[in-house]
Amino acid sequence: MICIGPAGWDYADGKGVVYPHPAPHGFDPLSYLAGFFDTVEINSTHYRPAPADVALRWCERVDARRRFGNHV
């Protein structure tokens, strides 16, 4: 299976292009992208493994998107 998604979710140049600008209160770019894609690159793990608590919070942020991550 080939999964297509963006290379990350925390880039300033996405404001007003990919994300609403100004962002509504409580806006979460990762959760937002999970509504359109079934995968998102986590490029920070190229430098070091993510701490377990950080990875768990990422999972919680996309948990409502049943399609996201269910391609394994």
pLDDT tens column, 4-47: 889 899 888 888 999 999 999 999 999 999 989 888 998 888 88
Provide the pLDDT for residue 44: 84
**Domain of 70, in residue numbers:** 1-28+44-72
Q: Is residue 7 part of a domain?
A: yes
Q: For residue range 37-68, what is the model confidence (pLDDT) as tens digits?
A: 888 998 888 888 999 999 999 989 988 877 77
Number of domains in the chain: 1
pTM: 0.81
Alpha carbon separation from 17 to 2, 37, 41, 45, 55 (Å, rounded):
25, 16, 19, 26, 27
Of 32, 38, 5, nearest in space to 18 by CA: 32
Q: Is residue 12 part of a domain?
A: yes
Q: Is residue 34 part of a domain?
A: no
Q: Is residue 39 part of a domain?
A: no
